[in-house]
Structure 1
Amino acid sequence: MQYHGVLTKMQTEFNNPIQYYLVFENDFLNVNQLLGKKIKIQFAGYQCLSCGLDKKIFRQGFCYDCFYSIPAAGDWIMKPELSKAHLDIEDRDLDYERRVQLQPHIVYLANSSNVKVGVTRKSQIPTRWIDQGAHEAIEIVEVPNRYLAGITEIALKEHVSDKTNWRKMLQNDVLDLNLVEIRDSLKEFIPEEAKDYFIASNTETNIHFPVLQYPKKLKTLNLEKTPQFEGVLKGIKGQYLLFENDVVFNVRSSEGYVVEIAVT
């Protein structure tokens, strides 16, 4: 089997285990079916996910020019507290920012290597947790816009981390914790504007990943430095492909790369 196309983050289906798909323009690939098989990846160039041109990818699948101009890469994406659509203040494109920012958002706890606090649109639950490689997660508040989620995250990260240790996550060096208790302990630190949105009655979501063997010493595959790679797929977790010999490949950070994939 051979596939050719532009890498984008793997699409997922919540199941036991999670189902992963690489989606190309005219084809798709159920990655779970490749476990235990040898895969060859050939780097063939770039294609910006915004302008579609063959330009070196800068960040998030976008070329330099697009990253600093399109609304989908505004600063409020990574820093929700900078959202201003609720004030009718434009960053790059107010119509776009209203569509994304002025919808229900979730502040959550996710446990992938350690417990961390995060923000995502309600429509992205549980996808966001899966992408982070979390084996358990729980909602803290559901607020009506991105700004309220952002200021809540800022307040809570004074008491719990907002970062994932991706190495521990991939090595499965994790603990099962009581997220309900941790959520309840954080309630008093929620900003006044968001206190009424606290969720007190939900339970943890548990997530199971398709992994045959976890790596011990991580070796990151960079297609720009190693344009041709071949190895047996041992697992999928977060947005990473886990290969034999402890090689790991971050699909998300390789968005916009044109690749040829052969399965034997």
Structure 2
Amino acid sequence: MLYEGVLRKMQTENGNPIQYYLEFENDFIHMNQALNRRIQIDFIKFQCLGTGKNEPIYRQGFCRSYFFESAAAGEWIMKPELSKAHLGIEDRDLEYEKKAQLQPHIVYLANSSNVKVGVTRKSQVPTRWIDQGAHEAMEIVETPNRYLAGITEVALKAHVSDKTSWQKMLKNDIEDVNLAEWRDKLKDYIPSEVADYFIDSNSETHLEFPVLQYPEKVKSLNLLKTPSYTGVLKGIKGQYLIFEDQTVFNIRANEGYYVGIDFL
């Protein structure tokens, strides 16, 4: 059966294992049910998630013009410390920015390949951790807005990484760490204006991904270089599909690509 539509990040449900759903406009695929099946992916065209136009995707599923004009792609999204809605200062659209920035945010520690610090909206826990392929994570600070979470991340990343090695994550090459010990170690580096939001007693969240076979090496599928690919699905981790031939396909990085998907 052929499915067709524009790629958006897979929706997830936390479980043992996590359940993944690839949603199109009029249909969806329960990707866990596709494990051990041969899948064909064909690139058809671009479809900007903002304008719907067939224009090359620049970043975050958006064409270049939309990326530089839309409030949905403001610099504060990738750099929370640049948030200014709490000051009533507009970046691109103050009403949009107030809704996004002036809500509870979490500073967390996650272990995908190594310990890292990150920021997400409270409503995105544990979705954010799942998308990063973290097998364990812990909230360490809860702030009332994005700015305070952002300056906390900036302060802590001088002492712990804010990056994940996606290759190590996909190979399941992970360090065994105690996140509570890391939390306590980092407490003294939290900015004074955020100190009252520190969470001093919290347990780790453990996540189980539907992976039958991890790759020893990873080969990333580029649909512009390989517009038609066929492989047997062996796992899903983060936002990656993992295939038997050690090819991996990052759904999130290919948002805005309109594709056909068939099961052979």
Equivalences for 1:1-264 in 2 at 5 Å? 1-264=1-264
Q: CA deviation at 1:200?
A: 1.3
TM-score normalised to the size of structure 2?
0.99
CA distance in structure 1 between the aligned counterparts of 2:141 and 2:185, rounded to whole angstroms = 13
Q: CA deviation at 1:217?
A: 1.2
CA distance in structure 1 between the aligned counterparts of 2:140 and 2:72, rounded to whole angstroms = 26
Q: CA deviation at 1:129?
A: 0.2
3-state DSSP of counterpart to 2:69:
coil
Instruction: List alignment gaps of at least 5 residues for structure 2.
Output: none
Q: CA deviation at 1:90?
A: 0.1
CA distance in structure 2 between the aligned counterparts of 1:137 and 1:259, rounded to whole angstroms = 33
3-state DSSP of counterpart to 1:225:
coil
CA distance in structure 1 between the aligned counterparts of 2:109 and 2:50, rounded to whole angstroms = 31
List per-residue Cα deviations over 1:212-247 (Å, max 9, x = no partner).
000111111000110000000000000000001110
Identity rate, percent: 69
Instruction: List alignment gaps of at least 5 residues for structure 1.
Output: none
CA distance in structure 2 between the aligned counterparts of 1:233 and 1:252, rounded to whole angstroms = 17
Q: CA deviation at 1:202?
A: 1.2
CA distance in structure 2 between the aligned counterparts of 1:174 and 1:163, rounded to whole angstroms = 14
Q: CA deviation at 1:176?
A: 2.5
CA distance in structure 1 between the aligned counterparts of 2:193 and 2:233, rounded to whole angstroms = 47
List per-residue Cα deviations over 1:82-120 (Å, max 9, x = no partner).
000000000000000000000000000000000000000
3-state DSSP of counterpart to 2:91:
coil
CA distance in structure 2 between the aligned counterparts of 1:115 and 1:2, rounded to whole angstroms = 40
Q: Which amino acid aligns with 2:165?
A: N
CA distance in structure 2 between the aligned counterparts of 1:175 and 1:73, rounded to whole angstroms = 33
TM-score normalised to the size of structure 1?
0.99
3-state DSSP of counterpart to 1:116:
strand
- Counting matched residue pairs gives 264
